[in-house]
Amino acid sequence: MINRINVIPLALGTLLLCGSLVAPDKRAKVLITTDFGSIKVVLFDETPLHRDNFLKLVNNKTYDSTMFHRVIKEFMIQGGDPDSKKAQPGQMLGNGNVGYTINAEFHPNLFHKRGALAAARLGDQMNPTKASSGCQFYIVQGKVQTDSILDMTQQRMDMQIKQGLFNTIINQPENALLKQQFIAAQQRFQSTGNPDSLNFYSAVINPKIDEEFAKTPHRVFTAEQRNVYKTIGGTPFLDGGYTVFGEVVEGMEVVDKITEQQRDRNDRPLTDIRMTMKIVKK
């Protein structure tokens, strides 16, 4: 009986002691203030280029008076366009910049869960290296996902990589003849509907693609990430395409309020949602 009574206070004392030794979060934090309330974000040390650039722009007051100019419910809110400071009502926004881009900083453990802070960028055709905008960013609202959606998303991300590998392989000088044959097979399929030739040359090149794909780093949803997407939610199809460099630690209800605002056909809110930012210690 004595042992059982003594176990409880000893266990509680141990827990309290452990709690008092938890190291404070020393990562950089920024407070984003809007008419709907404040959003506090923490910046990841795993993405130092984006972290330092964001802090520089906050210090320079670059973001003050800019808008959340693109808002899509169950997706994200986007801001940071310098052109939005003096934008006229109805003006399309999203093309403003600070004259430079930032190299992508992809990290397998940083993904587009609800509350993720990430960098906007130009599309792949103009920006094959996926370099980030020097100033524009977005905060993920997202929605809860299912295993089937995550499976399809994984397949789509893999196919995008394999398409890029196909383009690289087919355009190598030693594959010039194969490229001509493949193009001819595509043309025959388009004109006759018979896929035999196309299937034949696909069977020739697909093993080369699979071999290179096995060597190429690519995103795979871990069990932990799947659990987060299925419980908290997010936008998994953006993973591996846009740099995640922080996350919301307070104020997601403000993000939710912003996504509820009426907007025009370009997803710009009808009422301007401006922001100011400052670096905070806690």
Q: In the predicted model, what is the mean pLDDT of residues 79-85?
A: 97
Last residue of a domain, one of 169, 189, 215: 215
Q: Both 53 and 193 in a single domain?
A: no
Q: In the predicted model, what is the mean pLDDT of residues 132-148?
A: 97
Q: Both 98 and 180 in a single domain?
A: no
Give me the domain span that covers residue 190: 148-215
**pTM of the entire predicted model:** 0.82
Q: Both 38 and 117 in a single domain?
A: yes
Q: Both 35 and 120 in a single domain?
A: yes
Q: In the predicted model, what is the mean pLDDT of residues 53-65?
A: 98
221 falls within a domain: no
260 falls within a domain: yes
Lowest mean pLDDT of 9-18, 20-29, 91-100, 253-262, name the range.
9-18
17 falls within a domain: no
Distance separating alpha carbons of residues 146 and 84, to the nearest angstrom: 36
Q: 139: domain CATH number?
A: 2.40.100.10
Lowest mean pLDDT of 29-38, 96-105, 108-117, 218-227, name the range.
218-227
137 falls within a domain: yes
Long-range interactions of 28-31: CB distance < 8 A, separation 24+? 28/55, 28/279, 29/249, 29/279, 29/280, 29/281, 29/282, 30/54, 30/55, 30/58, 30/246, 30/277, 30/278, 30/279, 30/280, 31/277, 31/278, 31/279, 31/280
Domain tally for the chain?
A: 2
- pLDDT at 209 > cutoff 60: yes
Q: Both 102 and 89 in a single domain?
A: yes
